[in-house]
A and B are shown apart, each in its own frame.
Chain A
Amino acid sequence: MPLKDALPTQGRFSQWRPNWVILTLGLAMLAAVWGLPTVSVAANRIVSGTGYPVWQALSWGGGALASLIILAMMVLASHPERTRLSYVAQFAAMVLLLLLMPFGLMAASHWLVDASQPQARLGIGPAYWVVMFLALLGLIELRLRLSLARGWMALLLIGIGAVWLGCAALWLDSLALVQEFQVREAQFYQAIRQHLALVTIAVSVSIVLGMGIALLMRRFYRLQRGGFALLNFFQTVPSLALFGLLLAPLAWLSANVPFAAQLGIKGIGWTPALIALIIYSLLPIVRNTYVALEAVSPDVLDAATGMGMRTSQRFWQVRVPLALPILLEGVRITMVQAIGLTAVAALIGAGGLGAFIFQGLGQAAMDMVLLGALPILVMALAADAGIGALAAQLRRGAAYD
């Protein structure tokens, strides 16, 4: 619910009721722009960079332009007349800001990075991260006000992301992130493929397995308690410990069962990673499947039986479709969780984007950490939004009240 609806309404013209969310975000943005280092420049990969404030990185004009956009948004937000047009303008201001930011980096690169030094690199400073984060929050708030469909919002964010990527690929060679990427381009795509493969296989296997377990639990009531206790227990084991626990038995299997060795089963690598991922994924899938199937209204089921549906007809035509949105929630949680956990799996040699994170941490190269972390973040958000939208679509036909 938008904040304004939660507040008590007063006289139409008497009170000054600005949009506090946007105003606060705007103030925080201004503070970040002028108070935090905008970019950092380092002579090479090893030394830590020097931070530059906005007036040095983007010149006084650049800082003023950013501030002007933010101020314009704040003025609109504090105006008592809340027209749709005003929200559209605020929305446009946020989008404009996000679109101009990579060009600011280009300017900073031009002014601050010595072209004669190919090792010199530009780092994205805290002001950039903070403003980007706050601008996204602002977009979320304005999306609610404008009641914009999720799909349009997703398209818009993809568009902004494309502008950033284009700028980075074409004109931002000096950006540290880009340099890290260029050195490991092949590795990077390989890591994304591995990451996606691990997540997809783990989640699909646990969907099949988890739904099977949930169905068995419904049939055999005794299984239910023990089953949930076990899955809950696994969920509490730290991921690294689980990888360690799997190491010994899998190594033994590989050494003693030739067939297992042929399959590529080893104490480290993708096998333990996949097993651990599946174990972690089972709980949300089983729990949501079970709850979803149980949550179908008894009246509806009574009517289904009373009208003469067979048990299988009732299950497939009534119970499953009604359970599907909650069930998809389970898949969504599992997917996001698996995308994050797979990063840890890099520690036991399973590959994936986690490898960059841990290598980068080892080398104190934060931009390499980012090279691993940013795609993981994007993947998690995309999975979350995509499956969430699918569930919302399914719900639309029927409000399950």
Chain B
Amino acid sequence: MIELRNVYKYFDDTVAVDDVSLSVPKGKFCALVGTSGCGKSTTLRMINRLLAHSEGEILLDEQAISDYDPVLLRRRIGYVIQNTGLFPHWNVARNIGLVPRLLKWPASQVRQRVEELMQLLGLPVGEFANKYPHQLSGGQAQRVGVARALAADPDILLMDEPFGALDPITREKLQEMLMQLQARLHKTIVFVTHDMDEALRLADHLVVMRAGKVIQQGTPLSLLQKPADAFVDSLLGGLERGLKQASLTRVKDHMAPLGPTLPAQSRIPARYTLRQALSMMLRDHSERLTVVDQHDMPVGELSLRKLVKEAHSSEQGSSRES
């Protein structure tokens, strides 16, 4: 559990972070989004005391972070940065084992943990353990970066634009990997990004910042449904908002039972998103799709007409997923 209460940060005369309050419950994924220079990275770096906050309170498990020794505090918090910050003179295994070694774990335990993490992140031990960072691709290097952050099994993970320097395909793969990890490990994550799609995809809780202030925070769906102002709206993609919302919704949540009419030609698996369904309707010139389960058996149908009506009604109600 991370809590920021009325936190300010001044650099000389300028206000970098201006009265930010937010709380990330245990096991939740919080994304700080905004244009560059909006104070999102500064906010993140105050949590592990790489920067001292000027005013307000930052609490970790209800205890002020100023009560901790900063070094010991950082060893309890995983930290991932954009350019990986891997030590170029250490091989992969040694890089990953950094924090356990700082915590004076026995060598055998460190090795075991390193191998476990390499497997978890899809880095075959035999192939990668002895490689040096410059021998890795960008995606592999950042996997090592994430493994290093997870090494001492911290409850909290701070990620500062971790995938910002990667090409779109690698980025998507690593986002996928992070989602799977989070589904298993349930870390409390604060994730800084300027990529709204990435934030929408990963986060349980979105915090939009501008000029050091929090403009709006809430679940991705609630922000998509009701952006607080034109800035948030444009960040969320303006006209594309509807599609983004659809990409957060699963087909199975909107399908109707199979009707008496003939099933539609086009088939879509139930786990796909509404956005993919819409795309398929446009592609196949079809207002209706047959929804199938993982065995390709029809389980329901999706109709454009119904979707439009539902979207209209859910706009008035609260979101059904949070």
Contact = CB atoms under 8 A, between A and B. Distances in A.
Interface of A: 297, 299-300, 302-310, 313, 318, 321-322, 397-401
Interface string B59-72: 00000000000011
Contacts of A401: 88, 134
A302 B102 contact: no
23 contacts: A299-B83, A300-B87, A302-B50, A302-B81, A303-B81, A303-B84, A303-B85, A305-B74, A306-B81, A306-B85, A307-B98, A307-B102, A308-B75, A308-B99, A309-B71, A313-B102, A318-B87, A321-B89, A322-B88, A397-B89, A398-B89, A398-B90, A398-B132
A84 B251 CA distance: 64
Contacts of B48: 306
B252 interface: no
Among the interface residues A299, A300, A307, A321, which one has the most CB atoms of the partner chain B within 10 A?
A307
Interface of B: 48, 50, 71-76, 79, 81-90, 98-99, 102, 132-134, 148-149, 158
A313 B89 CA distance: 15
A399 B74 contact: no
B79 A399 contact: no
Nearest to A300: B85
Contacts of A300: 85-88
Contacts of B132: 397-399
Given A398-B132, A398-B133, A399-B132, A305 B50 contact: yes
B134 A398 contact: yes
Given A321-B89, A398-B88, A306 B102 contact: no
A160 B2 CA distance: 71
A74 to B, nearest CB: 41
A308 B102 contact: yes
Contacts of A321: 89
Given A306-B50, A306-B158, 11 more contacts: A297-B83, A299-B83, A303-B79, A304-B87, A307-B149, A308-B75, A309-B71, A397-B132, A398-B133, A399-B88, A400-B88
A401 B84 CA distance: 13
A322 B79 CA distance: 21
Nearest to A309: B102
A322 B83 CA distance: 17
Contacts, number: 72
Contacts of B73: 308
A307 B79 contact: yes
B145 to A, nearest CB: 8
Contacts of A318: 87
Given A313-B102, A397-B132, A306 B79 contact: yes
Contacts of B84: 299, 303
A401 B71 CA distance: 28
Nearest to B76: A308
Contacts of B72: 308
Contacts of B74: 305-308
A295 to B, nearest CB: 12
A297 B75 CA distance: 21
A299 B81 CA distance: 8
B93 to A, nearest CB: 14
A319 B309 CA distance: 62
Nearest first, the 3 closest Cβ-Cβ pairs linking A and B are A303-B85, A308-B75, A308-B74
Nearest to B91: A397
A399 B133 CA distance: 8
Interface centre among A303, A322, A401 (most CB of B within 10 A): A303
Contacts of A400: 88
Contacts of B158: 306
A318 B90 CA distance: 9
Given A305-B74, A307-B79, A299 B99 contact: no
Given A302-B81, A313-B102, A307 B148 contact: yes
A313 B81 CA distance: 20
A394 to B, nearest CB: 8
A302 B82 CA distance: 11
A310 B87 contact: no
A299 B75 contact: no
A321 B48 CA distance: 26
A401 B86 CA distance: 12
Contacts of B86: 300, 303
B88 to A, nearest CB: 4
Contacts of A309: 71, 98, 102
B152 to A, nearest CB: 9
Contact of B71 (A302, A308, A322): A308
A401 B90 CA distance: 14
A398 B72 CA distance: 29
